[in-house]
Structure 1
């Protein structure tokens, strides 16, 4: 049974211009649900958009998985009046309805997890439903416009613990069989299963205030799920961690970066103590490649923009866990990883937003002993294991 997801995106956004590409906890908004889809039981995930910049990003950043595909959406189905169903139908025709189960995912619901997606698929594959949607159980009292209560007696107000509450659609996940979709031309129909998600997922991003709320929720979710075990991998950013975040440019481009020799010795000692070093940077720099080669760091990955999904894939390949990782980062594109790993660090001269989220702010600046300080901390910590 081929299970395929659709993530429809529009270039235009009135509430928050460029919303889908705007960084939420250091990652483009749409990449949160895309990453969840990649690591779910789905067979393929389509990003369907009229934004060619996003299509280029998807092609470049997710070349490590055959699951992710980008497809150009027509302008007529990407304007302010176009319905999601019209986009779904256009997409289905473009791929010749090559699926048995269709899962619609909304980028404006970045709190969606792989398990939420799997739960919706389970309703169809194992529970005999023809479609499913995600809901939130809320204990709010609702009213009609004319001033009459919808779901309780004002003269017998129930206590929260005695009130069953309401199930509200949160707009995050929908799933349907191909047959039901072809027949109804709707995201859900016939026998509909329900997938309950946490109450905080009721917040969708339609305004900047929503954005701030969801970003805080994401950061707290990642940090709450943290576990600490023996550190087997030390993951490092480059600019602002290995270097002082400066670079010398000439007519031919990048000329020099400053590295600290004592950092290099610390990493060598760390490897001798069975801790692997991993370098992930968003820049594609020959200077960095040569320096990492000199340091004999085999796990060096250049030009990675979505560091979170990339690192999750690395973790799966190495059969390890986030709990076995320590991470040093200095800027917003490291935030998702810093909030998730077992232990997180920032150099003393890192950006303030990063220092607010990490477990430790180091006493040394980048390119001035910060990495060596982390190496010594890791060795002392691992001694307890």
Structure 2
């Protein structure tokens, strides 16, 4: 079975002496020649913030290391504000800024020095640059000087914006900003679920500047790690879980949050599992539910287990517990790397290590959250559940 302490031991190897965290290969060593990527730094800061809340020795120092990288290092644009996507990419992306907000939220909740300041700055940039109040959604990306906004709009960045907004709202509980962030998270979730409902629980990922679905987007690049073509099964599981975290924050939550979360979850489970005849969830399906990219991604299975776990906690239904256990057992058998203690990030349908979308094992975020959600009460954020 996956051991959380051993997984965190592995994750600690990502620490860069010059600041932040780097990309780990299959052997647990930093891959040479890669830029420092803000999404990795922010995710790992969040992970070590969660470990701090668990009382893990040394985790607060690692969290502080990440906070410093995001507040004083070269990833932060001191001239124009916000965060570069990486040390060799000046794009200001909503996806990256959502994770900066999540990192600040968890560090602040854990009481780590500098976390509250990082959170304040990340929320301010999100509100000023990314949040589109007319749409109830976030725009996707800007150039470095915030002069040109890309026409593309994406649901992936908005999904992580909901996650980060709920975490920030928990960290800022009792303030006007907290209430606003939860309202915004609900508005974005409403929009996403409306699009999924219109297509019999198939969620579009890509949109025009006017928020018209682009259902053919990246058909020629279907294995893109962040903008794949078609229906992304793992994101449907994430949206199902996030609706329940959102529901947990409301005194009188709308009934559709639970009903629609179940519908979206059930569609992803029924259409995704073994869609090509092999156990596991393909990365993507087309609009007729046929596998497009059959590779198995560790994060997709982690989100399936996490969503089933949260649904079991909220509903008390045994079928969700059974699915969580069945899928977790599959993950332990197929994905667990006994050498590193992490899960291999990509497999072929027959279980061999794949590299079509991901190389190495850079990410502890999905697996750590999956482990920490087990047998815990559902809150707006994982950090709030630990606190």
Q: Same fold (TM over 0.5)?
A: no
TM bracket, shorter-chain basis: under 0.3
Higher helix share: 2
Give the number of the structure whose alpha-carbon radius of gyration is greater. Answer: 1
Structure in which a larger fraction of residues adopt strand: 1
* Normalised TM-score (structure 1): 0.24
TM-score, normalization: structure 2?
A: 0.24
